[in-house]
Amino acid sequence: MLRSGVSRLDDFLRLLDREPGRRRDLQRCLTVAVSEFFRTPQQFDHLATHILPRLLRERGRLRIWSAGCSYGPEPYSLVLLLQQMTPERPHYLLATDIDEGALAKARAADAFTERDLRNVAPQWRGEHFMSGRPSKHALHPRLRSRVTFRRHDLLDEPPEADFDLVVCRNVMMYFTAHAKLQLFENLHRALRPGGYLFVGDAEMLNGLPEAGFSRDAVGFYRKEMGVS
């Protein structure tokens, strides 16, 4: 409101109705863009040693959705894992976010910081990243091309379906109880039976309906077979 030069809430609401650009500015102020490669490494270790091998045995070509991908470290972490495990397989990896600015940065993949890469193994940094601007690192173009980025509203737009893995980490912690329930139902719908939901380590589904899911490990839930 201070930036817009108004002091009354009703005046601000009228301004938002009148000027769509103001809504986008407000949305950017409210969006939390915090990410890094392999955030919470122990969870990614479980993904690499248990979840992905199981899924790869079941389906040769995986469909993976990184929901709320921010500026890209999460989906590109998945790309790095799949590159090591199945370098020749053409997996489908969709990454979505509501913030167009974050998506533009994710598509470019040329401005990752040392903090972004602090959990990336030195060998992988040498193989898959290039030094660009001072203190910035760029992902190799051959890996950037393996992710499809798209704007998507997790609450108001229906998701694609038949995913083997949906990664939605550190997103729902900012939602109200009602919004969490709606998000949980949308993510459940997006998974195929037997597919996995991967959430943040602090995002247990306690207090939300868990029918149709079984808990696998901290942050991992599997959609039960025979559940649509």
Q: What is the pLDDT of residues 128-149, one digit of tens each?
A: 999 866 679 999 999 999 999 9
Number of domains in the chain: 2
- C-alpha torsion angle, residues 184, 186, 188, 190 (rounded to 10): -150
Against a cut of 0.75, is the pTM above it? yes
Q: Is residue 35 part of a domain?
A: no
> Are 146 and 64 within one domain?
yes
Residue-level pLDDT at 54: 96
Q: Within 10 Å of residue 101's Cβ, how many Cβ atoms?
A: 14
Sign of torsion over alpha carbons 53, 58, 60, 61? negative
Residue-level pLDDT at 210: 58
> Are 135 and 24 within one domain?
no
DSSP alpha helix (H) spans, the chain: 9-18, 20-30, 41-46, 52-58, 73-85, 100-108, 122-128, 141-144, 177-190
> Are 61 and 115 within one domain?
yes
> Are 92 and 203 within one domain?
yes
Nearest to 188 by CA among 171, 169, 170, 163: 163
Q: Which domain holds residue 85?
A: 41-223
Q: 70 pLDDT exceeds 70?
A: yes
> Are 74 and 23 within one domain?
no
pLDDT tens-digit map of 170-213: 888 778 888 888 888 899 999 999 999 999 887 777 655 555 78
> Are 203 and 139 within one domain?
yes
To the nearest 10 degrees (0 to 180), the angle between helices 20-30 and 9-18 is 120
> Are 134 and 157 within one domain?
yes
Residue-level pLDDT at 79: 97
